[in-house]
A and B are shown apart, each in its own frame.
Chain A
Amino acid sequence: MSATTPQTDTGATPKQGSGITVEDLRVALPGRGGVDVVDDLDLVLHPGEVVGLVGESGSGKTTVGTALLGYTRAGAVIDHGKILYQDRDLLGLPWQEVRQLRGEEIAYVPQDPAAALNPAIRIGNQLVELLELRGIGTAESRLQGARDGLAEVGLPNNDEFLRRYAHQLSGGQVQRVALAMAFLPKPKALVLDEPTTGLDVTTQGMVLKTMGELCRSHGVAALYITHDLAVVANIADRVAVMYAGQVVELGEKETVFRHPSHPYTRALLDSIPHLSQARALSGIPGRTPAPGSRPGGCRFHDRCRHAVDRCAQTVPELVTVTPGHSARCLLVGEIGDWDISKGVVPDSDPKKARDPILAIEDLDVFYGRSKVVHGVTLDVAKAEVVALVGESGSGKTTISRCVGGLHKEWTGRIRFEGEDLPKGSRARTATDRKRIQYIFQNPYLSLNPRLTIEQIVKRPMELFGIASGKEATDRVVELLDQVALGPAVLGYQASRLSGGERQRVAIARALAAEPDLLVCDEITSALDVSVQGSIVSLLEDLRKSRGISMLFVTHNLALVRSIAARVQILNAGRVVEAGSVVEVMESPREDYTKRLLANSPRVD
Chain B
Amino acid sequence: MSTIDEFPTPELAVARRGAPAWTRQKRLVSGLVLTLIIVALAIFGPLLAPHGENEVVGPPYSKTGVLGTDYLGQDVFSRVLYGGLDVLVIALLGTLLGVVLGTIIGVVAAYAGGWWDEVIMRLNDVLLAFPQILLALVVLTAVASPKAWMIIVLVGLSHAPRVARVARGVALGIVSRDFVYAAEALGERRSRVILREVLPNMSAPLLAETGLRLTYSIGLVGGLAFLGFSTNPDGANWGQMINENRLGLASQPWSVLGPVLMIGLFCIGTNLLADGIAQLAHRTED
Contacts and interface: CB of A to CB of B under 8 A. Distances in A.
B7 interface: yes
A446 interface: yes
Interface in B6-64: 6-13
A448 B2 contact: no
Contacts of B2: 57, 194, 197, 227-228, 526-528
A459 B182 CA distance: 11
Contacts of B3: 57, 62, 111, 194, 227
A113 interface: no
Interface residues of A, number: 49
B197 interface: yes
Interface stretch (A85-93, A144-152, A253-261, A422-430): A422-430
A305 to B, nearest CB: 23
B118 interface: no
Interface residues of B, number: 27
A290 B8 contact: yes
Q: What DSSP secondary structure best describes chain B's contact surface?
A: helix
Nearest to A199: B1
20 contacts: A57-B4, A62-B3, A198-B1, A292-B10, A405-B185, A406-B184, A426-B184, A437-B185, A438-B181, A440-B178, A442-B178, A447-B179, A448-B201, A449-B201, A459-B186, A460-B186, A496-B13, A499-B8, A513-B186, A525-B1
B201 A499 contact: no
A291 B7 contact: yes
Interface in A430-489: 430, 433, 437-438, 440-442, 444-451, 459-460, 463
A525 B1 CA distance: 7
A293 interface: yes
A58 interface: yes
Interface of B: 1-13, 177-179, 181-182, 184-188, 196-197, 200-201
A290 B7 contact: yes
A445 B186 contact: no
Contacts of A496: 9, 12-13
Contacts of A449: 201
B190 to A, nearest CB: 9
Interface in A359-377: none
B1 A446 contact: no
A335 interface: no
A447 B10 CA distance: 19
B177 A445 contact: yes
A526 B186 contact: no
A497 interface: yes
Contacts of B196: 448, 451
A433 B185 contact: yes
A430 B182 CA distance: 15
A182 B10 CA distance: 36
A516 B97 CA distance: 47
A141 interface: no
Nearest to B187: A433
Contacts of A526: 1-2, 4
B11 A290 contact: yes
Contacts of A168: none
A440 B181 contact: yes
Most chain B CB within 10 A, of A495, A509, A528, is at A495
Given A57-B6, A406-B181, A450 B1 contact: no
Contacts of A62: 3, 6
Contacts, number: 104
Interface in A27-74: 57-58, 62
B12 A58 contact: no
Given A425-B185, A440-B178, A463-B187, 8 more contacts: A57-B6, A194-B2, A197-B1, A292-B10, A437-B185, A438-B185, A448-B197, A449-B201
A446 B188 contact: no
Contacts of B12: 495-496
Contacts of B188: 459, 463
Contact of A433 (B10, B13, B177, B186): B186
A288 B100 CA distance: 44
A444 B185 contact: no
A450 B200 contact: yes
B153 to A, nearest CB: 32
Nearest to B284: A495
Contacts of A124: none
Contact of B187 (A291, A430, A527): A430
A442 B182 CA distance: 12
* A-B CB proximity, top 10 nearest: A446-B178, A450-B200, A440-B178, A445-B178, A290-B7, A448-B179, A57-B3, A498-B8, A433-B187, A227-B2
Nearest to A57: B3
Contact of A446 (B6, B179, B184, B186): B179
A498 B9 contact: yes
Given A449-B201, A450-B200, A58 B186 contact: no
A244 to B, nearest CB: 11
A404 interface: yes
Given A290-B11, A446-B178, A448-B179, A406 B4 contact: no
Nearest to A528: B2
B42 to A, nearest CB: 34
A442 B178 CA distance: 8
Nearest to A460: B186
Contacts of B197: 448
Given A428-B187, A495-B12, A444 B5 contact: yes
Contacts of A404: 185
Contact of A293 (B10, B178, B186): B10
A430 B197 CA distance: 20
Nearest to B7: A290
A319 B185 CA distance: 54
A498 B12 CA distance: 12
A62 B12 CA distance: 21
A429 to B, nearest CB: 9
A444 B4 contact: yes
Contacts of A227: 2-3
Nearest to A198: B1
Nearest to B285: A449
A46 B67 CA distance: 80
B184 A425 contact: yes
A97 to B, nearest CB: 29
A174 to B, nearest CB: 15
B182 A438 contact: yes
B180 to A, nearest CB: 8
B10 A450 contact: no
A365 B224 CA distance: 57
A406 B185 contact: yes
B178 A290 contact: no
Nearest to B198: A448
B201 A497 contact: no
Nearest to B176: A445
Interface in A170-220: 194, 197-198
Contacts of B6: 57-58, 62
Contact of A499 (B4, B7, B11): B4
A10 B75 CA distance: 93
Nearest to A61: B3
B121 to A, nearest CB: 20
Nearest to A407: B181
A194 B178 CA distance: 26
Contacts of A405: 184-185
B176 to A, nearest CB: 9
